[in-house]
Chains A and B, each alone.
Chain A
Amino acid sequence: MSSAEVVLYEKKPLPAKLTLIGLALLAIGGALAGIGFTSDSVRASYNLIIVFMWLFSIGFGSLFLIALEHIVGADWSVPFRRITEILAGVVFIVPIVAIPLFINLDQVFVWINPQVLEADKYIKGKAPYLNQDFFVIRNAVIFGLMILFFILLSVRSFKQDVNKNPKASKTSAKLAAIFLPIFAISISVVAMDWLMSLEPKWFSTIFGVYYFAGSVLSTLSILTIIVILLVENGYLSKYINEDHYYNLGALMFAFTNFWAYIAFSQFLLIWYANIPDETLWYMDRSNGAWMIMSLGIIFVRFGIPYLALVTRPSKSNPFRLKIIATWVFLAHYYDLYWVIMPEYAKRNGVDGPVFGLTELSAPFIVVGAVIVVLALLSKGKNLMPVGDPKFKRSLEFHL
């Protein structure tokens, strides 16, 4: 690659029908959710939280991966950074999904109900934080910050393709340093607001980290799937080699272990201390069939991905990595379902997990939204950050 004539990347627009595929998936998901909404609007609202949190994972998680790369100065992930930057465009979908939830907040959050507040002094004691006005304001602020940092991190990188300004990368690193603390606080707030406050009596200080670990996994897995599919169909540089894949797999492996570490730490302390305020959340998840799901999450989220990713070939072989990434991506759905739906079951007299057309809508909406964002935002852009000063070096990356 010493001669300047070598073409590292040739611009090739994504096929036009991709938008149609994405819209079709969105339409199927929307139709399923609509059928669910007419029959049981409460259940549909809980499912919308799953969709919302899943999309939030991908949008905010992408911004995190971009910031991580800038701040540590990583080489290997530069070829994929454009895909991550485009994926971060999901932040525009997240507020749209949140609007119906904001309208129906009282359907899912019991702390809004004045009768519950009167009856329970513990929930009333949390009212200074858990009240509807503050809830809407702080979440709106977080959505605003997400879009602001999408412009600061992604859009500036899109422009770098044209102006080739190497200083832009340095500014990005500084912006990433500002973004990361904001990210850490925001994702904890969102996890507490939308997941933990479903059971307002329960609290766990590590819960934000738990959701963060799952978020990064879901972002990494969808990124891996998209990258491998694009390389297989010749939309990215042919210089992407197995060591690039190896690093994607290794990061996924690391976060799989990190998730298990956090999830187990949360469980161990609560189980050991055995205080009713803290155990109730796990008690809700160990009744009857929920117990099977709770034991299942150990294998779905940790055991199987761990064994699948532990060997070196499984990380560097794109075909195997693609399958494992799909599993990890859907495991995030399992995780969110396990966190959210027991609260629905408890408050609405449903015994055990339910899975119907309403629940089936979530993966369709999420995958459809990701494809639509990918198709629309990639229009007229390079799919690799050709203006990045590290671009050539990153393609020569070897372990």
Chain B
Amino acid sequence: MDNKILHSISAIFNTPDEITHAAKEIVKAGYKKFDIHTPYPVHGMDGAMKLKRSPLGYFAFALGATGAVLALLLMWSTMVVSYPNNIGGKPLFPLPAFVPVTFEVTVLLASVATVTSMIIVFFRFPNNSHPLHDTNYMKKVSSDKYGAIIESDDPNFNFDSVKELFEKLGSKDVEPIYYDEDELSVKHNLFDPKFITGLAIIAVTISGITYFALNKMMFMEPFNWMMKQQKLSAQSPSTFFKDGFSMREVVAGTVAKGKMPYLYPDSIDLADKFMVNPLDVNEQNLSIGKAKYNTYCSPCHDYNGNGNARLNGQFPNPPSLHTDKVRNWKDGHIFHIITMGQNTMPSYAQQINETERWQIITYIRALQRALNAKEEDMK
């Protein structure tokens, strides 16, 4: 007994009135480090103990405000900065729509972080023991009695006077409470490797079991009516039509709405005769023409049109665009070749629309002029 260290002196009372009276008297006697334990909240106890207002509210407020700011920042950065999409004609930062989310995150962060900080700061996690645990005192006050303790590190603490005070207040059951040896020798550290490893193993196990249970044992498609619907798939035969096609071919001679078919597919002479480049020579047409030329034409014709390009050797070299023959072709002639193809050159009608063809022709003309400049171009 002698080598044990005293934590506090405890006293048991029988009625809520007695304990309220005791709390008032303990305050009056000038003790600061004392506590009251009751099986249920006793009305008026915080007033009797002269407790100050808990600072937890300010914690919660600060954390809640942080949550609100974080939620708004997240929505701002995703909806305004990263993915600025027009949704239903609303502004990019529609505040009313963000109010529910902000509210939820505020409440979530305030509650979770308050409980966490309470556990870590006030309960000194991971310490999980207290001298009052496993005492007769605690057994009584958690069933039907009311208890008070005065801790030994109170500046006014004196074993005999505290005992006398409790007995004067009418307690029949006054007991000293000592520290356990473990509590003094073993010190828990939040960053103890064993503790961290234990936490990691628990996390991995629980998430593994959860993953296995949800995805392997009892996997259910959340909804399958999009995946399992009747539909036509490209590149696969359909049973709907006898010939296995998934859709009917268009009637010969059908013209798509708003599209003008090429008028002279059979005659390059007619193209030569009737087709005129409708575009002006300006910077916009030239730059689009250059981009399209570099994309579709340059692999064979080369960037400057001399025909010695990066596919040299794999295909026959096309003739240079700078010969007199090509230079004297009319624009309609080149248009016909781009549209219908010539020799090994395929048709580019699918890749390049009509305006772009004219823009490419404008650009080819500029290339030709560049290698064969006239006197007046130098001005």
Interface residues of A (CB under 8 A from B): 264, 267-268, 271-272, 274, 312, 398-399
Question: Can you report 18 A-B residue pairs in the complex whose CB atoms are below 8 A from each other?
Answer: A264-B96, A264-B99, A267-B96, A268-B96, A268-B97, A268-B99, A268-B100, A271-B96, A272-B88, A272-B90, A272-B96, A272-B97, A274-B88, A274-B89, A312-B53, A398-B43, A398-B44, A399-B43
Which residues of B are found within 8 Å of A267, using beta-carbon distances? 96
* Nearest CB in chain B: distance from A256 CB, A: 15
**Which B residues are in CB contact (< 8 Å) with A398?**
43-44
Report chain B residues within 8 Å CB of A274: 88-89
Nearest-Cβ distance from residue B56 to partner chain A, whole angstroms: 13
Secondary structure class of chain A's binding surface, majority of residues: helix
Q: CA A271 – CA B96 in complex, angstroms?
A: 8
Residue of A nearest to B57 (CB): A311
| Assembled-state Cα–Cα distance A391/B44 (Å) | 20
Report the nearest B residue to A267, measured CB to CB. B96
Which residues of chain B in 47-62 are interfacial with respect to chain A, using CB atoms and an 8 Å cutoff? 53
B89 contacts across to A, CB distance below 8 A: 274
Interface residues of B in 76-98 (CB under 8 A from A): 88-90, 96-97
Q: How far is the CA of A268 from the CA of B99 in the complex (A)?
A: 9
Distance in Å: Cβ of A102 to nearest Cβ of chain B: 39
**For the complex, what is the distance from the CA of A236 to the CA of B43, rounded to whole Å?**
24
A264 contacts across to B, CB distance below 8 A: 96, 99
Chain B residues 287 to 346 lying within 8 A of chain A, measured CB to CB, are: none
- Expressed in whole angstroms, the minimum distance between the Cβ of B90 and any Cβ of chain A is 8
Contact partners of B90 in chain A: CB under 8 A = 272
A268 to chain B, nearest CB (A): 5
Per the bound structure, the CA–CA distance linking A272 and B96 in Å amounts to 9
> Closest Cβ of chain A: how far from B57's Cβ, in Å?
8
Interface residues of B in 93-129 (CB under 8 A from A): 96-97, 99-100
- Please report the C-alpha to C-alpha distance between residue A398 and residue B43 in the assembled complex, in whole angstroms: 6
Question: Residue on B with the closest CB to A311?
Answer: B57
Closest to A261 in B: B103
A399: which B residues are within 8 A, CB to CB? 43
Which residue of chain A has the shortest Cβ distance to B47 in the bound complex? A398
For B53, what are the chain A residues with a Cβ–Cβ distance below 8 Å?
312
Chain A residue nearest to B41 in the complex (CB): A399
A272 to B100, CA, bound (A): 13
CB-CB < 8 A to B88: which residues of A? 272, 274
Q: Which residue of B lies closest to A265 (CB)?
A: B100
What residues of chain B lie closer than 8 Å to A268, measured between beta carbons? 96-97, 99-100
Tell me the bound Cα distance from A398 to B100 in angstroms. 35
- Shortest distance between the CB of A302 and any CB in chain B (Å): 12
Cα separation A312 to B44 with both chains bound (whole Å): 15
Question: Which residue from chain B places its CB closest to the CB of A399 in the assembled complex?
Answer: B43
A298 to chain B, nearest CB (A): 11
Report the minimum CB–CB distance from B101 to chain A (whole Å): 12
> What CA separation (Å) do A207 and B88 show in the bound complex?
25
CA distance A267 to B95 in the complex (A): 12
A312 to B47, CA, bound (A): 14
What distance in Å separates the Cβ of B131 from its nearest Cβ neighbour in chain A?
A: 31
Nearest B residue to A264, CB-CB: B99
| Besides A267-B96, A312-B53, 16 other A-B contacts (C-beta < 8 A) | A264-B96, A264-B99, A268-B96, A268-B97, A268-B99, A268-B100, A271-B96, A272-B88, A272-B90, A272-B96, A272-B97, A274-B88, A274-B89, A398-B43, A398-B44, A399-B43
CA–CA, A312 and B57, complex, Å: 11
- On chain B, the residues within 8 Å of A272 by CB distance are 88, 90, 96-97
The residue in chain A whose Cβ has the minimal distance to the Cβ of B97 is A272
A225–B346 alpha-carbon span in the complex (Å): 91
- Which residues from chain B contact A312 at a C-beta distance below 8 Å? 53
Q: Which residues 208-232 of B sit at the A interface, judged by CB distance below 8 A?
A: none
- Chain A residue numbers with a CB within 8 Å of B44 are 398
Q: In the assembly, what is the distance between CA of A339 and CA of B88, in Å?
A: 28
Q: For the complex, what is the distance from the CA of A299 to the CA of B162, rounded to whole Å?
A: 54
Cα distance A135–B43 when bound, in Å? Answer: 52
CA–CA, A312 and B52, complex, Å: 13
- Inter-chain CA distance A268–B88, complex, in Å, is 14
Q: In the complex, which residue of chain B has the Cβ closest to the Cβ of A271?
A: B96
Given the complex of chains A and B, what is the CA–CA distance between A267 and B90 in angstroms?
15
- Bound: A268/B95 CA distance, A: 10
How many angstroms from the CA of A265 to the CA of B29 in the assembled complex? 55
Specify which chain A residues have a CB less than 8 angstroms from the CB of B100 in the assembled complex: 268
CB distance from B318 to the nearest CB of A (A): 57
Please, which residues of chain A bring their CB within 8 A of the CB of B43?
Answer: 398-399
